[in-house]
Amino acid sequence: MQIQQKLRLGLKNFLWWLQEIFGDAEYEKYLRRASCESGETSPQVCCESHHRDGAVSAEKFYLDRIERQYARVSRCC
């Protein structure tokens, strides 16, 4: 049992690391940083209240991110 728990924790940490490296966790961070008017600390309740209160959807968030990244001229040489 101890080995299984360590493996799960290691896998969970590895997946978290991958999400941080590749930017997959940015939308969750955006929702956490936004003020939660309902006063709930539960991420699910907080996310639902943000969608009702005007926070952008995940799709729009990532499209805006891609547009910001590629909208400006990038010169490597």
Confidence (pLDDT) at 56: 86
pLDDT tens-digit map of 53-69? 567 888 898 899 889 88
**For residue range 5-53, what is the model confidence (pLDDT) as tens digits?**
999 999 999 999 998 898 888 888 888 887 565 455 555 555 555 454 5
Provide CB contacts within 8 A for 58, sequence distance 6+. Answer: 27
Per domain, the residue ranges of the chain are: 2-71
Residue indicated by tokens 């968030």: 61
CB count within 10 Å of CB 40 equals 13
